Structure 1
């Protein structure tokens, strides 16, 4: 079992910050603040003492001879490890059932218990043959190209379509599988798993047959799955991820991590798992981006909380309805707030009676897990082409993955077979296609934060056309596909009819502050005679420090952010004043932005609630403000645009009461002329060059164009 142990002093660490009005002078207020901070923030020495005390109490409990308990994996050492969040530590134990019951009922500091997760290997139903691509040649990446760490089952590093992109440093190819620390190859039968994932990073749209192509990145190999494609019980995922970051980031500055591993069951929704919290904390402490697979629903393998597709069909719950069931929720650790979670869509419609694909082209794959995630966050955020199942008309139906519905992938040849084939499906192979975009962004903007990479990937995502048919379709699509399918060209740059404006570098904000940006709209858009549609997209990406004992999204993070827009004709200074004045206003008094009819809006409705007049959002059951990446979009006639408008990023108090605590963020804003050839890019660049207005000396209103 994985257990979470609380390490907080409630009376001191959770006391409220002193208020200015309760003090007679500034000096007295400052003194009280300093006293409160001394109590609120434990030093590393105090934290180590408290951790050691709680660990010894747990060990003493487990040593009862009647329980035969022990800690399988824990985080010892002088430095704070990933299991040791600011309020807790996590470890894996084994214990008899009677001891577990006693632990749950009588150990005062335990707040979370769960069974160790198991990993679902993707289905491989045949050995479909493809050309070995002998006439194609992959060229090595640039020496300073981005590095991508593949956390998986190992890689066949000598594979002809991979070997030139494998880092030559043997220190960057490691195994954490117990008893196999010197074995980094992909030993999974049926063509491997990590090898397929690594290939999808380099070849997101299939392997070329001829010509030459330079690899976008260097691949690094971190093996944690064994030869049966299982995550060994003796491996505690938070511990392994911490060790991987210690090697690949803190020593070689690898910033992108492909994590195509997820549990077999839906993630829990009460508290964040230790696995997902580890990803969140590593993302907070380091400039890294984890790209995580959403998880798979098995065709026939059935679990109590994750019925198979076959069981759903037998029960009369057909595709796509079962994707909205709670049993289809994303798998651990895909609920991580600060990872980018990737689901799967079908890339084609297969119809060859009596065989047909379950999903149609650009619809969510039959096996892809859905949202919302923990605390109603939008998960997965994006989707890519990971294949689909084909069924026949027999009763019960047979499930297959023919070549035409499976993505073309590199295949391990250790146990024979072709070097390239299309015989496996799963979100495992959708995630690395998004990783490819992240690597391309790092190659183009090496000095920028991974927060901007995540923002631009989500900003580039687009839902398929069929989702526009009705609000019900749109709601279903966001539940299953998030913000849609990302596009590498939209993420990397601009078109004549589309421009993306972004912040550059890390922007920092404190709770109870607002950063306001002004966008100047080109005058040529405002003419009444034009009347073309403008698609406006805004994405905010931020990271904050997590606390795992909290069971609320706004208290899980040290500081949480959201964004809002000014109304038509609203002065920037008045807009900033209003944003700060309304900081503590009740949610039900929240008014809409007044300018755009957003798709999601800032507020979501609870069950049985009705939306008051004046609150924005077409899809009322979901909110853009729930996660750490927040996108919304709207279409407006060009002549309805104002001369300028403002966007405010607002900081809100989470668990951290320190008024000086800051969190970083990145913001992206796009304008696109829909079905029009008008030159949006040039118009906005010229307009932005003229618009550099200040609200206050310390508060510039500025958005830079992405070039």
Structure 2
């Protein structure tokens, strides 16, 4: 689908008096009964069609083919397949995928699995279905030994929850759906192909390579051997791979290519890779470009990959006697952050042949000198790090990136440093700013410490700041050569071993981190863990005369990647508020299957990996079936009335909605995602339990109209009418959001979502943004009752249906030229 700019709209908002609100949530799980005979005969018909495949399939006679077939089984929503039963049935289970959706905050699951079967396995499965149709399970009474017919069909556990079965397609093996869409049929690209290891896997691979060469695919030279897999990179179209790989029985998974970081061995090799990258880099940086200001150990800006993007006059230091260059030992620190903030992980960039375009540049403000450290009082450094570069270049948009932190956080309690960052972001002096802060690292030395230490070690100071975008780590780096004797510690898509969390924060403090980016993995021998270059990111080395590249990662590396994304968004949308840029990053994020599988509950999820992994594609663009609306507004939450603070106004949005398009979807699912991003003015101290001394100046929240609820009823539910009595008090049960306010409404950004039918979604375009408590309202001596604050509201509609256009009708409503 064609990429389109998000739709920022004015108007469509009214203001009304605000009094109170009550929200609620709930969840329910429902099981579905099955008609034994209809269901069994349906399965029998489908498996017989697959049996005919063995007799009727035609292939290129030059290609080698195994006498087997891949079959994909899927459950219905809300049902789990009996995975163990498939293994016991004679099939070879290859992969399992889980999908989730939310219907009015009821979390439903749908499962699919792929098995390998020969003709005998299929015949055996047919017999199991026939037994299911005709025989009941007989149990024996323990006392009388009487045989009792239970009425329950045999093989019910295996068969009852199968909703569909079919010959698997190549897409059935694609396990990177969260990160990358399945490639188009004729897109000639590199694939990472995972082959099962069997007793004869070497001979089997020769057959694979024969087929691939005949079909016209390019086979990569490198190969990784894992405990159960051989991993190769292969270039071709999905049609070519379908016509070759599916003929043999050793295919396990397909992934987006991920190179390991140790493919460069000698200094001469590194020089060649460096020169190739420089030739492929298109420098679009100029005097007006967005700047990422790195608060770190300085930058060695003469590195060949940095020299054109960070100039001497953009190097600053809190103490000029420290100098401006990167003084950190063993390859530096700030220089490595700089490389990632410009190029991303050099593992990916160097292994590609594509040109890259860079539109942003760098600044450095040195806040740490390991040789001559000053007193550990960081708040003034942060203020100087904003004011000095702003005076030097007052007209550039910026992203600030802090990757030097302190350990003691006291369970999320604000510090002077975190409060200063909140103050800087709020922008009373220099305007609102975007501040990205690494969450701080956990050191895992023993296998058994992961993930226990991550759950018990808190986010570092000042990453607890409300307004900062705090970055943690996850990893997709899970490939390490089996000959090393090591395995990756964290599974693909899981929290990285370096990630710190906010599980031990006091409940009132924000959920941190906000987002997670790639931070690398650790290797393990089952007892001890260690760093391994194959599981790390690759970036620029401060000692570039001796070593051009260096392994890097952890939360500093992740924060650098987040800053790169933020700079690209600010470049693309220079007129968006920083609250919107921050909001888009959170709005685009999602959790991996591994994150959802490993989390005990929603609170655990939010306090370990935040809102998950952001998508640059979703953050930048809408498409026809995924529409993003943006509203930037100002509101006065409180007022001075009768010598005290009172609630003032709330905003009511009549969102521009593609109603007819949504109606046409009927009972097909549509997901609504809402993100509210704003900054608070901090009020740090140890008196937060007293109402007058809350840390946050104000809080904002949102709510959506319910189905069949009139506008007047919705307004009464949101704001208490002046004439309300106990007799006229309405029921104030809120929308059953997936996260809900109890766990999700923390800090100064809130995101939530629901999934409902298209026809229901067409009726629910009324949304309210309203104030909650804060010290602006309660702290009388500050006299800030009448302060006006701003917020960014981001609303998305998404559907998996590809033949629907949600975008154009909204553009037509708003009279915006396409």
Q: In the aligned structure 2, how far is the partner of 1:246 from the partner of 1:585?
A: 54
2:753 equivalent among 610, 617, 633 = 633
Question: Aligned pair in 2 of structure 1 residues 405, 341: CA closer, same or farther (>3 Å)?
Answer: same
Q: Say whether residues 1:494 and 2:622 are aligned partners.
A: yes
Q: Say whether residues 1:160 and 2:304 are aligned partners.
A: yes
Q: Say whether residues 1:533 and 2:676 are aligned partners.
A: no
Displacement, 1:335? 0.4
Q: Say whether residues 1:430 and 2:558 are aligned partners.
A: yes
Q: In the aligned structure 2, how far is the partner of 1:653 from the partner of 1:542?
A: 15
Q: In the aligned structure 1, how far is the partner of 2:675 from the partner of 2:796?
A: 9
Kept after mapping to 1: 8 A contact 2:478/2:488: yes
Other-structure match for 2:606: 478
Displacement, 1:466? 3.8
Other-structure match for 1:661: 787
Q: Say whether residues 1:357 and 2:488 are aligned partners.
A: yes
Q: Say whether residues 1:336 and 2:492 are aligned partners.
A: no
Q: In the aligned structure 2, how far is the partner of 1:349 from the partner of 1:270?
A: 32
Question: Aligned pair in 2 of structure 1 residues 214, 585: CA closer, same or farther (>3 Å)?
Answer: farther
Q: In the aligned structure 2, how far is the partner of 1:244 from the partner of 1:522?
A: 45
The secondary structure found in structure 2 opposite 1:507 is: strand
Question: Aligned pair in 2 of structure 1 residues 195, 556: CA closer, same or farther (>3 Å)?
Answer: same
Other-structure match for 1:391: 524
Tell me the alpha carbon deviations over residues 416-471 of structure 1, each in whole angstroms, 9 at most, x when there is no partner.
542123x2331000011111111112112212211111111100111113445597
Q: Say whether residues 1:465 and 2:593 are aligned partners.
A: yes
The secondary structure found in structure 2 opposite 1:165 is: coil
The secondary structure found in structure 1 opposite 2:715 is: helix
Displacement, 1:258? 0.5
Kept after mapping to 2: 8 A contact 1:520/1:643: no
Q: In the aligned structure 2, how far is the partner of 1:585 from the partner of 1:410?
A: 67
Other-structure match for 2:571: 443
Tell me the alpha carbon deviations over residues 260-282 of structure 1, each in whole angstroms, 9 at most, x when there is no partner.
122234x2137411110110111
Other-structure match for 1:581: 720
Q: Say whether residues 1:244 and 2:389 are aligned partners.
A: no
Other-structure match for 1:217: 360
Other-structure match for 2:634: 507
The secondary structure found in structure 2 opposite 1:136 is: helix
Q: In the aligned structure 1, how far is the partner of 2:670 from the partner of 2:366?
A: 47
Q: Say whether residues 1:406 and 2:555 are aligned partners.
A: no
Kept after mapping to 1: 8 A contact 2:502/2:607: yes
Other-structure match for 1:679: 805
Kept after mapping to 2: 8 A contact 1:330/1:380: yes
Q: In the aligned structure 2, how far is the partner of 1:205 from the partner of 1:676?
A: 32
Q: In the aligned structure 2, how far is the partner of 1:388 from the partner of 1:280?
A: 31
1:173 equivalent among 315, 320, 332 = 315
Question: Which range moves more in the overlay, 649-658 or 449-458?
Answer: 649-658
Other-structure match for 2:681: 545
The secondary structure found in structure 1 opposite 2:814 is: helix
Displacement, 1:473? 6.0
The secondary structure found in structure 2 opposite 1:451 is: helix
Other-structure match for 2:344: 204
Q: In the aligned structure 2, how far is the partner of 1:531 from the partner of 1:652?
A: 36
Q: Please give the TM-score of this superposition, normalised by the length of structure 1.
A: 0.67
1:189 equivalent among 300, 306, 329 = 329
1:517 equivalent among 627, 646, 653 = 653
Kept after mapping to 2: 8 A contact 1:377/1:627: yes
Tell me the alpha carbon deviations over residues 361-398 of structure 1, each in whole angstroms, 9 at most, x when there is no partner.
111001200124553421101000010111113x4x1x
Larger radius of gyration: 2
Displacement, 1:564? 1.5
Kept after mapping to 2: 8 A contact 1:350/1:390: no
How many pairs were matched up? 517
Question: Which range moves more in the overlay, 546-555 or 533-542?
Answer: 546-555
Kept after mapping to 2: 8 A contact 1:145/1:216: yes
Q: In the aligned structure 1, how far is the partner of 2:621 from the partner of 2:707?
A: 29
Q: Say whether residues 1:348 and 2:439 are aligned partners.
A: no
Q: In the aligned structure 2, how far is the partner of 1:347 from the partner of 1:362?
A: 5
2:289 equivalent among 139, 142, 145 = 145
Q: In the aligned structure 1, how far is the partner of 2:725 from the partner of 2:404?
A: 42
Kept after mapping to 2: 8 A contact 1:345/1:363: yes
Q: Say whether residues 1:378 and 2:511 are aligned partners.
A: yes
Other-structure match for 1:600: 739
Question: Aligned pair in 2 of structure 1 residues 706, 380: CA closer, same or farther (>3 Å)?
Answer: farther
Other-structure match for 2:709: 570
Other-structure match for 2:450: 319
Q: In the aligned structure 2, how far is the partner of 1:560 from the partner of 1:631?
A: 14
Q: Say whether residues 1:643 and 2:783 are aligned partners.
A: no
Kept after mapping to 1: 8 A contact 2:442/2:453: no
Q: In the aligned structure 2, how far is the partner of 1:529 from the partner of 1:179?
A: 66
Q: Say whether residues 1:296 and 2:436 are aligned partners.
A: no
In the TM superposition, 1:49-60 aligns within 5 A as none
Displacement, 1:507? 2.6
Q: RMSD over aligned Cα, in angstroms?
A: 3.2
The secondary structure found in structure 2 opposite 1:547 is: coil
Kept after mapping to 2: 8 A contact 1:535/1:633: yes
Question: Aligned pair in 2 of structure 1 residues 581, 128: CA closer, same or farther (>3 Å)?
Answer: farther
Kept after mapping to 2: 8 A contact 1:346/1:363: yes
Other-structure match for 1:558: 697
The secondary structure found in structure 2 opposite 1:649 is: strand
The secondary structure found in structure 2 opposite 1:598 is: coil
Other-structure match for 1:269: 411
Tell me the alpha carbon deviations over residues 677-699 of structure 1, each in whole angstroms, 9 at most, x when there is no partner.
4223224434x438xxxxxxxxx
Kept after mapping to 1: 8 A contact 2:599/2:605: no
Other-structure match for 1:83: none
1:280 equivalent among 416, 422, 429 = 422
The secondary structure found in structure 2 opposite 1:281 is: helix
The secondary structure found in structure 2 opposite 1:249 is: helix
Tell me the alpha carbon deviations over residues 246-299 of structure 1, each in whole angstroms, 9 at most, x when there is no partner.
11235534531000122234x213741111011011111231111000111113
Q: Which runs of 5+ in 2 are unaligned?
A: 1-260, 639-646, 778-783
Question: Aligned pair in 2 of structure 1 residues 433, 675: CA closer, same or farther (>3 Å)?
Answer: farther
Kept after mapping to 1: 8 A contact 2:474/2:517: yes
Other-structure match for 2:19: none
Q: Please give the TM-score of this superposition, normalised by the length of structure 2.
A: 0.59
The secondary structure found in structure 2 opposite 1:164 is: coil
Kept after mapping to 2: 8 A contact 1:334/1:341: yes
